[in-house]
Structure 1
């Protein structure tokens, strides 16, 4: 009897009852050479995945032995596959970062009350300037969600000056019913980094982000693992307009608000309603941050399959996955290595599997294929930002970016989610590529927030259409909706923890479904005469490729 892996490799038919898909006008894709599809094998993915997720890699943190080892392993694989180095100097693009390790004191004064909070237990903070000592005090302002979105008719500030003050801000976004114009799912306004950027634009000197596990950053332990240790940032962060940022627990936020005599629950409800305006908190925060800094370089790894029309004006397709994770950190149940098996050894293993398959084509594609394993993806996508700033091919000729992030390690499904595809003309191509693999392209609304979750967002903000695949929800055996979502369980329990390891229940079969679909998408755009574009109705529709991010 053939295994599921064998069925995938052979391209056997998996029947899916999807009348809606059949009714759509079908698009003819560029035919993928059989040599490409035949080379996409589960054992190839599995070998890379197990190596990159092994304890030997020590969690692949940027600027560490394990991170450098992973980078050189990827470069060696690119060379073995015959990929050309992206630059005359080789496969490595060095990204300068500055890492800070801090000890912080946070004291709040409200009326006659003084509250001293415990670092790590109550809050984690990091400097936004390269200053060994940041000592100051400032008034607190509750800024709701810290959002200014014209398309929603939403402005949490409404002229309230926060210059020279510290913002207290909710994580995530207001309820959908409160917004005047929302197409569904989470948006960029829920990202913590947007709130930091917005606070800086408003002139604040610091920001306290109220933690919520539902806002995409995971449980408090994940926040501690990310920011409660050495925090790498781009070198330019030394000139940041704000002085610091911090996560605080919801309990700390409640204690601060109630110390001023306000009703915490009522204040949070007010922030959910249109027309909210930032409120002076009647409290003052004293901040003392003592930091040690180290500068280091960490590489992106980039290889190229030149197209047959490899000229300066030719287009290119980028396939991107970040290879870093959190290294060695706080122990959890006796394990201190943050292996990052799903996030994102799975994405890099899929990238290498695709590189092997596409390199096996007997003839070159018309346009260039660029394979990029980026660094510092866990640190606000700093490696992807460096790649976009100095790309190996002109950014205004990049057809699309195919991101590989947190691949489906939980088995085969009958459908697949193409996050971002519905917002651009990639959509029909992704739908047809999925159909050719006997998969339905599911409604992406439930996973829309993932568009802003990794490297693809860097390129989307620069006007380049992107797509990242997510696991579908229909079981392989009977096509019904699965009773449990393994992706949700992973993010709630294992993401950014030492337990993100390869489990016995995992398999490469679901990843191979994704890889085969993406091979078809990549090959099509690598041979297409025109570039895909964002739809005018999408939030990126008004952007020109390569224009500065807004």
Structure 2
């Protein structure tokens, strides 16, 4: 037994030593990492969040100024153009759609051609069909989730072909946070409904205190080069001609028509017990859509790899370049500068490019720097790039996304959203250990952050991806970073106050950029491609 224990300890020691050797960076890389400049990060944020860029809304002069700035910076750092036709750019045609003349009526069961007030529902515009008129029987399909591998299927034994499904947004409590975020995303709900033969989706509002979305400013989608809808959060195919939301009172009325109560249904669904049924209700819906098309751009640059084979594979570093533009004034300011969201993320990518400029021997795989448009409109630029990349999609091995790092305090711990699904967790752990950072689970699972930024677009195309956010550790040992972030978020997030005069910790910005560089570098140097964990929900992608 003593010999066995000694042998076991010897093997573990050797294993740990080998692991440590894998983390040993060259003097060149260590030197380049130390050259990351907090002052340069501040300078990049200052320019991108300046009032003269007017919030960097896609298709505006301010957004073009941001494009010109990052292209100039990448050129100066020796990055090569990797967009369309050997340029720096990928065109993204965004369609802004508005709903007009919506009418929703109930025509069977206890309802006799009941025309509903338009404050009881919201019908999302259709980016592909300017005039829609449809009708169908209504079926309640729980959360609208089909995941047999997780032991849950709202559509089991339910016939929804040619019908309109009524769902409530959510996921069973047993689902991990990132899985829940994926299954309850509107795009996934629409996709699953279409796969089961539904012709429309109605989303029931299950919270009496919540208001329906205000869509008066329009809903964006992306068109491909043949003007077909390529990316959308509210449209899936011509088969699903209607997507709408109904308020709490109407939702309850519809459930009540089948003798059901929302409280009973919710308790079943949260417990992971599918509870679906037909409603004795028919629905008539008609509406029109009008469009405004806007041309925007993704910026794509490449740092060529050095391995004769692996250089044709790519590690993607992504960040969104857009923000909300000019909007409703708050405290006398109407320019939504987006200093943290996401000038800081763009500055981090530029810092990563500077690290690579200072490295004499580039990594084995190539590096793609992708600055995307339309994130604030639903991850549209990244969705288009991931689906129609300027390099072969099968050659993109991973995406490390940077969105609003929240550099307002020292960076002591992190959470890597999405890394738990793939082997990327190994590189995250190695990089974090090297920089003295601990790795924690998502501290805010209810925020569904995994699907709310551009890494999700790559996941949907089967590419392992992650997004680094702050963990809970604080310098005073209270480890209550969430409590610090909450008032900051309330004051600055998606408000004109998010400018360079807000709260920043540029040393934290330096460490954040170093971490993201190191994760990507370790992936680029590893002979093995990142892989999904066996049996993972995203492995099938």
TM-score between the two structures when normalised by the length of structure 1: 0.81
Note the aligned Cα RMSD (angstroms). 3.4
Does the Cα contact within 8 Å between 1:155 and 1:277 map onto a contact in 2? no
Is the alpha carbon distance of 1:281 and 1:228 closer, same or farther for their aligned partners in structure 2, counting shifts above 3 Å? farther
CA shift at 1:503, angstroms?
5.9
Give the equivalent residue in structure 2 for 1:292.
290
- Partner Cα distance (2:210, 2:501) in 1: 21
CA–CA distance in structure 2, aligned partners of residues 271 and 108 of structure 1: 28
**Aligned match for 2:196, one of 165, 182, 202:** 202
Match of 2:300 in 1: 302
Who is 2:59 aligned against? 63
Which whole-Å deviations, capped at 9, do the CAs of 1:308-344 have from their partners, x for residues lacking one? 3366863322101122233344555655444444333
Q: How does 1:314-393 map to 2 (within 5 A)?
A: 314-330=312-328, 335-393=333-391
Would you say the 8 A contact 1:129–1:242 is kept in 2?
no
CA separation in 2, counterparts of 1:38 and 1:483? 26
Q: Following superposition of structure 1 onto structure 2, how do residues 481-492 of structure 1 map, counting pairs within 5 Å?
A: 481-482=479-480, 484-487=482-485
Measure, in 1, the Cα distance between the counterparts of 2:72 and 2:60.
18
Corresponding residue number in structure 1 for 2:4: none
1:533 corresponding residue in structure 2: 531
**Residue 247 of structure 1 is aligned with which of 245, 248, 265?**
245
Contact 1:184 1:445 (8 Å CA) reproduced: no
- 5+ residue gaps, structure 2, are 1-15, 230-234
Task: Flag structure 1 segments of 5+ consecutive residues without an equivalent.
Answer: 1-21, 544-549
* Paired residues of 2:412 and 2:474 also in contact (CA < 8 A): yes
CA contact 2:97–2:126 (8 Å) conserved in 1: no
Offset, 1:434? 1.3
Partner of 2:94: 97
Question: Is the CA contact (8 Å cut-off) linking 1:185 and 1:445 kept in structure 2?
Answer: no
Matching residue of 1:455: 454
Over alpha carbons, which structure has the higher Rg?
2
Partner of 1:474: 473
**Cα deviation 1:194-248 (Å, max 9, x = unaligned):** 111112222323222235799xxx9758x43xx4422221223395321132334
Aligned residue for 1:413, secondary structure, equals coil
- Note if 1:163 corresponds to 2:161: yes
SS at match of 1:462: coil
Matches within 5 A, 1:13-162: 26=20, 28-29=22-23, 30-31=25-26, 33-87=29-83, 88-109=85-106, 111-112=111-112, 114=114, 116-118=116-118, 122-162=120-160
Deviation at 1:97, TM superposition (A): 3.0
Q: 1:232 aligns with which of 220, 238, 256?
A: 220
**Stretch moving more, 243-252 or 141-150:** 243-252
**Given the two structures, how large is their TM-score scaled by the length of structure 2?**
0.83
Q: Secondary structure of the equivalent of 1:427?
A: helix
Alpha-carbon distance between aligned partners in 2 of 1:249 and 1:424, rounded to the nearest angstrom = 38
Count of residues in Structure 1 that have an aligned counterpart in Structure 2: 509
> What SS does the corresponding residue of 2:525 show, helix, strand or coil?
coil
Tell me whether 316-325 or 130-139 shows the greater mean CA deviation.
130-139
1:129 deviates by 4.5
Deviation at 1:469, TM superposition (A): 0.6
Q: Secondary structure at the match of 1:535?
A: coil
Shift of 1:136: 3.4
Deviation track 1:175-204 (CA, whole Å, cap 9, x = no partner) reads: 22xx6xx59863411212111111222232
CA positional deviation for 1:534: 2.2
The 8 Å contact of residues 129 and 244 in structure 1, kept in 2 or not, is answered as no
Give the secondary-structure state (helix, strand or coil) at the position aligned to 1:443. Answer: coil
Summarize the Cα distance change of 1:60–1:271 in structure 2 as closer, same or farther, 3 Å threshold: same
Alpha carbons of structure 1 residues 338 and 435: separation in structure 2 relative to 1, 3 Å: same
Distance 1:494 1:257 in 2: 39
Query: Distance in 2 between the 1:205 and 1:245 partners?
Result: 9
* CA 262–489 in structure 1, closer or farther in 2 if over 3 Å, else same: farther
